């Protein structure tokens, strides 16, 4: 299928976001005791920063959910026209609903991406709490282990969460890919204005394939959002 390669690249990028974010979360978890002991004044800012990251991850998860939640059982067969018509109506209703959902998400991209300005402000404020006060130094607040990777972790934070345009592009591209997948499913039903009820099994199979492709990313994003929430609570406490 022509769309699969492009979607695979989108999924790969989401995987990179998940990987880099989890590295940040792990550094925070590992250095939480150090932070509490030596820099307790930074806990509030860090908790706020993690909340913004959580919001962005949940925004990305809402995009993958457009496709990943698909479940469909074909009731009819090619010899039962009434059942095939019902299947077509059910699948068509589902596609229309998901298109509406994608359209709503597209109109709310700035809310989905969290507040990049706030992320930058919190990042910079945490940088100033370190001894060096330098760009990328905030991870020194978590002890020696995080200090060794401070520039790498700081770059991941800045690239994914403090850059408005990058986050908007990431969300926009994800939505565009889900819409292309939905169009391919509609095409499998037949040419515009000529939907064929007997093509429902093929169209459902196409949508099921995309659902499976998106499901891993969707699960990873939801799991990561939970980890961020837990880290926020632990630090705030």
pLDDT digits (tens, 9 = 90+) for 173-194: 999 999 999 999 999 999 877 8
207 lies in a domain? yes
Say if residues 112 and 171 touch (Cβ distance below 8 Å).
Answer: yes
- Look at residue 72 and give its three-state secondary structure: coil
Residue 78 has pLDDT above 60, yes or no: no
Structural domain of 7: 2-70+82-236
Tell me the whole-structure pTM to 2 decimals: 0.89
Contacts of 190 (CB under 8 A, 6+ apart): 196, 199
Count of domains forming the chain: 1
Say if residues 182 and 7 touch (Cβ distance below 8 Å).
Answer: no
77 lies in a domain? no
Say if residues 147 and 139 touch (Cβ distance below 8 Å).
Answer: yes
76 lies in a domain? no
pLDDT tens-digit readout, 126-182 = 999 998 888 889 999 999 999 999 999 999 999 999 998 889 999 999 999 999 999
């Amino acid at each position: 299928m022509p769309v699969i390669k492009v979607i695979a690249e989108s999924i790969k990028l989401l995987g990179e976001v998940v990987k880099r974010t989890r590295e940040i979360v792990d550094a925070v978890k590992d250095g939480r005791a150090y932070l509490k002991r030596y820099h307790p004044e930074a806990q509030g800012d860090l908790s706020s920063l993690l909340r913004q990251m959580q919001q962005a991850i949940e925004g990305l998860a809402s995009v993958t959910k457009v496709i990943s939640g698909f479940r469909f059982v074909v009731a009819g067969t090619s010899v039962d026209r009434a059942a095939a018509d019902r299947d077509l109506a059910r699948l068509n209703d589902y596609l229309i609903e998901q298109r509406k959902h994608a359209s709503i998400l597209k109109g709310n991209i700035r809310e989905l991406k969290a507040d990049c300005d706030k992320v930058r402000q919190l990042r910079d404020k945490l940088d100033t709490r370190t001894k060096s006060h330098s760009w990328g130094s905030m991870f020194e607040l978590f002890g020696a282990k995080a200090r060794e990777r401070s520039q790498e972790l700081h770059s991941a934070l800045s690239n994914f969460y403090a850059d408005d345009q990058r986050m908007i592009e990431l969300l926009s591209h994800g939505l565009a890919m889900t819409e292309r997948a939905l169009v391919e499913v509609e095409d499998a039903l037949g040419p515009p204005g000529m939907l064929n009820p007997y093509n429902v099994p093929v169209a459902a199979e196409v949508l099921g394939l995309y659902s499976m492709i998106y499901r891993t990313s969707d699960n990873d994003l939801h799991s990561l959002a939970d980890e961020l929430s837990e880290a926020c609570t632990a630090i705030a406490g």
